[in-house]
């Protein structure tokens, strides 16, 4: 068709979509195994790996299966591992979180021994897996989460994890001042090289549902007094400023897909690496729909991860990390 004698439309974006070679040449976002971090669960006292019903394909590991899966992830090209542990004994203070020989510290040693410096070994730094009440901190006599008493526990936990050889600690409890408290404890104990991946904007999200199965935590109540309120974006920027001032090395948004606007805002506001956590519920939704034949699983997995990268995250935590690294390479 012509308008005023000229061919119309003059601009044809479809020219750049015509062949895979052309699409590949102009592609803005690339995903690789080395961008990904695999979250892993280890449970004390297990003799066989245990499937997690609401996360098909994910297991609670034994020490041996943890080592094997870590090696597999690394040889596939996964960039990092994030360890979570389920202790046999829980109490009000989360004592096992800081024991030198606690299940998480042992898992760190096992993993570091297995993968050396070929992968970045990270550990969740939070008390919820270790407390009998299931909160991320210790409680006051009236049952509120006591921010500053919790910071002392986090500081001790950071040192215990560093002594076990962790490369990066991931404080996920959303206590005020947690990054600063952990940084000064690590530095005072001679661990200036241990980095902090701060859960900067962690929302009180329904998407963590299946994770409760994974760590067998039955929390009475909710985390709304410490995790962020989902409607708020500005609050994430305030948390970012605080975490950077306190010494965060990497800042993270969690969950990922429902919070891509926050990923983008944080990306534009800082030059430190931005991470995003594609959480248990994001994983379970796709697996459940794919199991019914309602979604093309493999395409959906790559599309979700690519969109998280496109929004501005350079590091993505995903339960699909090993599989995706196998498909895409390092």
Residues interacting with ligand PBG, by CB under 6 A? 124, 126, 128, 136, 172, 208, 211, 223, 279-280
239 annotated binding-site participant: yes
User: Is 254 marked active-site?
Assistant: yes
Measured from the CB atom, the residue of 211 and 259 that comes closer to ligand PBG is 211
238 annotated binding-site participant: no
Three-state secondary structure readout of 208-231:
HHHHHHHHCCCCCCCCCCCCECCC
Measured from the CB atom, the residue of 128 and 243 that comes closer to ligand PBG is 128
319 annotated binding-site participant: yes
CB of 136 to ligand PBG, least distance (A): 6
CB of 5 to ligand PBG, least distance (A): 60
SS3 content of the chain, % helix, strand, coil (to 5): 45, 20, 40
Measured from the CB atom, the residue of 35 and 329 that comes closer to ligand PBG is 35
C-alpha distances in Å from residue 65, one per residue of 71, 109, 165 = 10, 14, 19
- Tell which residue, 65, 92, 55, 81, has the closest CA to residue 215: 55
User: Is 68 marked active-site?
Assistant: no
Measured from the CB atom, the residue of 31 and 126 that comes closer to ligand PBG is 126
Strands 59-61 and 50-51: antiparallel
Q: What are the backbone angles phi and psi of residue 189, rounded to the nearest 5°?
A: -90, 5
SS3 65: helix
Residue 258: count of CB within 10 angstroms of its CB: 15
Tokens found for residue 270: 């800082």
CB of 126 to ligand PBG, least distance (A): 4
Q: How far is it, in rounded angstroms, from Cα 296 to Cα 21?
A: 23
CB of 208 to ligand PBG, least distance (A): 4
Query: Known catalytic residues?
Result: 202, 254
Would you list which residues are annotated within the binding site for Mg(2+)?
Answer: 239
Q: Which residues are annotated as a binding site for 5-aminolevulinate?
A: 212, 223, 280, 319
Q: Binding-site residues, please?
A: 212, 223, 239, 280, 319
């Amino acid at each position: 068709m012509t308008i005023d004698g000229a061919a119309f439309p003059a601009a044809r974006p479809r020219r750049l979509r015509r062949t895979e070679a052309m699409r590949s040449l102009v592609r803005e976002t690339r995903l690789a195994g080395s961008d990904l971090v695999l979250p892993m669960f280890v449970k004390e006292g297990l003799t066989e790996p245990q499937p997690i019903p609401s996360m098909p394909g994910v297991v609670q590991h034994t020490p041996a299966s943890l080592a094997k899966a870590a090696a597999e992830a690394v040889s596939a090209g996964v960039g990092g591992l994030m360890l979570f542990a389920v202790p046999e004994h829980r109490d009000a203070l989360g004592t096992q979180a800081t024991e030198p020989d606690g299940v998480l510290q042992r898992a760190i040693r096992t993993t570091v021994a297995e993968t050396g410096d070929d992968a970045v070994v990270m550990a969740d730094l939070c008390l919820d897996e270790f407390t009998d009440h299931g909160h991320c901190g210790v409680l006051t006599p009236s049952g509120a989460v006591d921010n500053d008493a919790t910071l002392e526990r986090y500081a001790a936990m950071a040192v215990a994890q560093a002594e076990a050889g962790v490369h990066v600690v991931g404080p996920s409890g959303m206590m005020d001042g947690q990054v600063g408290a952990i940084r000064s404890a690590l530095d005072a104990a001679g661990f200036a090289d241990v980095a902090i991946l701060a859960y900067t904007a962690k929302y009180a999200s329904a998407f963590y549902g299946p994770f409760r199965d994974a760590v067998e935590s039955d929390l009475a109540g909710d985390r709304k007094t410490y995790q962020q309120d989902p409607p708020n974006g500005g609050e994430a920027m305030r948390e970012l400023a605080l975490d950077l001032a306190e010494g965060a090395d990497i800042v993270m948004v969690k969950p990922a897909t429902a919070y891509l606007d926050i990923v983008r805002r944080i990306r534009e506001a800082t030059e430190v690496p931005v991470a995003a956590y594609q959480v248990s519920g994001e994983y379970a939704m796709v697996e459940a729909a794919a199991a019914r034949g309602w979604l093309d699983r493999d395409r959906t997995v790559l599309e979700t991860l690519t969109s998280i990268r496109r929004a501005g995250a350079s590091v993505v935590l995903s339960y699909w990390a090993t599989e995706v690294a196998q498909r895409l390479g390092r």
